[in-house]
Amino acid sequence: MPRRLLVSAATALVTALSLASPAQAQAEPLNYVALGDSYSAASGVLPPDPTAPLLCLRSARNYPHVIAAETGARLRDVTCGAAETRHFTTSQYPGVAPQVDALGADTDLVTMTIGGNDSGVFINAILACGLAGISTLGHGSPCADRYGSSFEDTVRSTTYPSLVTALAAVRARAPQAEVAILGYPWILPATGGCFERMPVARGDVPYLRSLQSTLNDAVRRAAEANGITYVDLSQASEGHDACQPLGVRWIEPVLQTTNPIVVHPNALGEAAMATETMRVLGLS
Active-site residues: which are they? 38, 264
Secondary structure of residue 229 in the 3-state scheme? strand
Handedness of CA 51, 41, 85, 173 (dihedral sign): positive
Name the residue among 172, 169, 208, 171 with its Cα closest to residue 188.
208
Secondary structure of residue 194 in the 3-state scheme? coil
Residues 112, 36: contact at Cβ < 8 Å?
yes
CA–CA gap between residue 175 and residue 112 (Å, rounded): 16
Q: What angle do CA 197, 202, 206 make, to 5 degrees?
A: 105
CA–CA gap between residue 53 and residue 75 (Å, rounded): 16
Name the residue among 67, 74, 62, 70 with its Cα closest to residue 30.
74
Strand residues in the chain grouped as ranges (E): 31-34, 74-77, 109-112, 178-182, 229-231
CA–CA gap between residue 111 and residue 197 (Å, rounded): 31
CA–CA gap between residue 137 and residue 247 (Å, rounded): 28
